Chains A and B, each alone.
Chain A
């Protein structure tokens, strides 16, 4: 199954997102991500294994702001 990286704005949102997605059966790892974009700098990302569309909807519904999404990659 594919991995998707969701870049979030803070460690609190990363923790919140991880808990939420794990409750819905996703496998999730948190990673520190430097220089996420030209304006953001350091932050955290969620490496998520499972259906990216559902994961995105769950995160958005919980009000977790997503800075960027990258598809593919191999988790940790």
Chain B
């Protein structure tokens, strides 16, 4: 199988990640933070090592502000529902995923409102102005996707963080498509909450997610329960990470995530991004020469977008194209990518679109093979 669905989850995972997960089942099999025996403490050390690796990777000063979640959606829900209440307003971008839109629609029924600001990929200043004009006196959260999961467009999160900080509004970033792909430095930005999947650009296993908090704002909890400490307190402990982590952690997943981050550190995200962008530029250049292919993404440029490519073949539904490719042993993602606003912007809500996303393991041969198959489908259409 040639795998181009890396924006959904990266595959394959590095051998080090697979090995770490298997080893965790043997070496770190006790519940961390729940006991004082050697195996529990050894497991807790490994969990803490992952918090340290994450905080170092994203330049967050305190590893205790790294919260483990099940996925990026859970992190986003913790931020949104932990920040706003009846009568509050939220500003988001027009590139958001359903992991942001659906929690907000649920909150809408409880009296929360939101406004979508337009992201202009080639004009960061216009994007800032768009966010600026969307802010109201009751805006309690600004949330923006760092990179669109459909178009790859990057939002100017550094400037948006400054805007939010100036207005005294918490700022959250959905880094589902950028974590491990683009450098994110929490020490240089006033990002209050960074939401990440562990299983995409960080090359950890599915079932891992992260919420990084600067610590200047306090989220209310979505779930409460056992934290392994302060058990006589009737309330949830107020310190991070236990404030937001109730119940047993996904230790094998966390060990795999640690191995993924260590692997990324060894290879360097700049090197991987260079490789992926080169591949996407090669494919993009070839596809622009086919008259009945419509590309929705811009020419891959690291300053404007993350390496992914979205297209349709005239007269064909995206699902049909994906099925042709599947039969040729190629995995891509068709449909609406859980991002209805973006597809409305592209006018593709009826057809969907085909998305390709490379990983560190994608080769030039993979690009040549998929190009050949797309040509075949386009010619027969």
B232 in contact with A40 (CB, 8 Å): yes
A10 in contact with B51 (CB, 8 Å): no
Say yes or no for B231: interface residue by CB 8 A criterion.
yes
- The size class of the interface chain B forms with chain A is 20 to 34
State the A residues within 8 Å of B (CB): 9-16, 19, 30-33, 35, 37-44, 63, 65
A10 in contact with B231 (CB, 8 Å): no
Say yes or no for B36: interface residue by CB 8 A criterion.
yes
Q: Determine the chain A residues whose CB is within 8 A of the CB of B228 once the complex forms.
A: 10-11, 42
Q: Is the interface of A mostly helix, strand, loop or mixed?
A: mixed
Q: For residue B227, which residue of chain A has the nearest CB?
A: A10
Question: Please, how many angstroms separate the alpha-carbon atoms of A15 and B237 in the complex?
Answer: 17
Q: Determine the chain B residues whose CB is within 8 A of the CB of A63 once the complex forms.
A: 62
Q: Is the interface of B mostly helix, strand, loop or mixed?
A: loop
> Which 9 A-B pairs rank lowest in CB-CB distance, beginning with the nearest?
A32-B36, A41-B232, A41-B231, A11-B33, A15-B48, A43-B229, A10-B229, A42-B231, A11-B44
Q: Determine the chain A residues whose CB is within 8 A of the CB of B237 once the complex forms.
A: 9-10
200-259 of chain B: CB within 8 A of chain A: 227-233, 237, 239, 241-242
B242 in contact with A12 (CB, 8 Å): yes
A41 in contact with B233 (CB, 8 Å): yes
Contacting A13 at CB < 8 Å: which of B32, B45, B64, B232? Answer: B64
Q: How far is the CB of A61 from chain B (nearest CB, A)?
A: 12
A32 in contact with B35 (CB, 8 Å): yes
Question: Please, how many angstroms separate the alpha-carbon atoms of A40 and B235 in the complex?
Answer: 11
Known: A31-B36, A32-B35, A65-B239. A12 touches B230 (CB 8 A): no
Contacting A41 at CB < 8 Å: which of B32, B33, B62, B230? Answer: B230
